[in-house]
Amino acid sequence: MSEILKLNSPAVFIGKQGQDGVISFGSGQPDLPPPPEAFAGINLKRDLRYGLIQGEVALREALSHEYPGSTAENFVITNGASEALDLIFRSWGKGGKVLLPRPYYYSYPPIIEMAGMVPVYTDMIEGRIDLEDFKKKVKECKAVLINSPSNPTGRVESIETLKEIERITQELGIYVVSDEVYKDLIYERENYHIKGDHVITVNSFSKTYCMCGVRVGYLWSSDKTVVENVCEEKTHTSMNTNLVGQDMALHAMKAPKEYIKKQQLIWRERRDFIYQGLLSLGFELWRPEGAFYVLPKCHNARKFLSVLFQDYKVIAYLGEWFGAPDRLRFSYALDVKQIEEGLNRIRDAMKKVSVL
């Protein structure tokens, strides 16, 4: 019998995609190609001296067209959404609570704690924010961190919920950090971009443009102090974001809108395939409305993950890393053939571990 792996985080699996017959439902990185336009941005003979800490002006200007009423001054270009999140919380200085809907993206609690702040949790209902509980807990917090579409639940918050969060936090004078890295990956409707001086939006080129490894993301804020403080923090840590990556991002934005629409069709087909597949294996799960994750219930999740990995070369992530014990998270950033093969292996592994 396989040993039960003592995995505390996904670190060991990140970057392992499709090697040695492994089927990875692990890392949330699109397997689809970036738009060809992105590659036109690679100019290794460009000026490679230090760049502006805030990010290249041309890229910030291009982004400002996607955020009505904005200018280049409202953006900071970062090493992925990850750095944007890290800088925001650290720039506030130590102390204060941050409200976090649970299940959450696994990096949120460490980012908040490393900034010297304290995460306070509000449990979701059926993978979406419980507004009643949210309203009770938000009063004691300095900020909230939301993520719709959600990693790991795959759910999208309703426009009413987002507007209510926008309103309550404005009234209370509380910051909302809105992680919208999956904003272009919604199957049900358009993204609702929450607004206000108290809103800080975090976004990325990793998912929309399939450029995870290039590490370009950004934050948007209409509050000058937020932008200044984040730049101050970045000056003493990573300094400017990779210049060639920023050029690639700028060129990727020139891709026709069909690029994103075509991807959505592919993701939708995969969503339907894995959702139906896991349902037919007997799993209980929420139907994803955005992003590319499913989070089925799973008894003996750690044991099952160990068997899946060691005996069947299938990678999945433990729900407990996302604050969802007794669940497994599957990323469906794989073509349908591989998802089918993965589901077959899961079916076989289910004969060894009781998961339902």
Ligand X SMILES: Cc1ncc(COP(=O)(O)O)c(C=O)c1O
Residue closer to ligand X, measured from CB, 80 or 296:
80
Residue closer to ligand X, measured from CB, 56 or 83:
83
Smallest distance, ligand X to C-beta of residue 183, A = 11
Smallest distance, ligand X to C-beta of residue 152, A = 8
The region, left, alpha or beta by phi > 0 then psi within -120 to 50, assigned to residue 291 is left
Asked if residue 105 binds ligand X (CB under 6 A), the reply is yes
Residue among 54, 122, 153, 204 that touches ligand X (CB under 6 A)? 204
CA 10 – CA 313 distance, rounded (Å): 15
CA 133 – CA 101 distance, rounded (Å): 10
Residue closer to ligand X, measured from CB, 147 or 201:
147
Side-chain-facing half-sphere of 97: CA atoms under 13 Å: 11
Q: What are phi and psi of 270, to 5 degrees?
A: -65, -40
Asked if residue 221 binds ligand X (CB under 6 A), the reply is no
DSSP notation for 230-251: HHHHHHTTT-S--HHHHHHHHH
Going through 109-243 in order, the beta strands assigned E by DSSP cover 118-123, 143-147, 175-179, 199-204, 217-221
Q: Which residue, among 262, 280, 277, has the nearest Cα to 25 in the 3D structure?
A: 277
Asked if residue 151 binds ligand X (CB under 6 A), the reply is yes
Query: Which residue minimizes CB distance to ligand X?
Result: 80
- Residue 121 in tokens: 């949790």
Contact in structure between 285 and 278 (CB atoms under 8 Å): yes
Residue closer to ligand X, measured from CB, 140 or 188:
188
Residue closer to ligand X, measured from CB, 82 or 221:
82
**Beta strand pairing call for 317-318 and 328-331:** antiparallel
Asked if residue 180 binds ligand X (CB under 6 A), the reply is no
Smallest distance, ligand X to C-beta of residue 348, A = 29
Within residues 19-48, the interface with ligand X by CB under 6 A covers 28
Smallest distance, ligand X to C-beta of residue 243, A = 17
DSSP notation for 259-277: HHHHHHHHHHHHHHHHHHH
Asked if residue 86 binds ligand X (CB under 6 A), the reply is no
- Residue 205 in tokens: 């080129």
Residues in the chain: 356
Within residues 110-149, the interface with ligand X by CB under 6 A covers 147
Residue among 156, 177, 194, 212 that touches ligand X (CB under 6 A)? 212
Asked if residue 154 binds ligand X (CB under 6 A), the reply is no
Stretch that binds ligand X, among 48-56, 75-83, 131-139, 161-169 (CB under 6 A): 75-83
Stretch that binds ligand X, among 76-84, 112-120, 230-238, 348-356 (CB under 6 A): 76-84
Residue closer to ligand X, measured from CB, 183 or 302:
183
Query: Interface with ligand X by CB under 6 A: which residues?
Result: 28, 80-82, 105, 147, 151, 179, 181, 204, 206, 212, 217
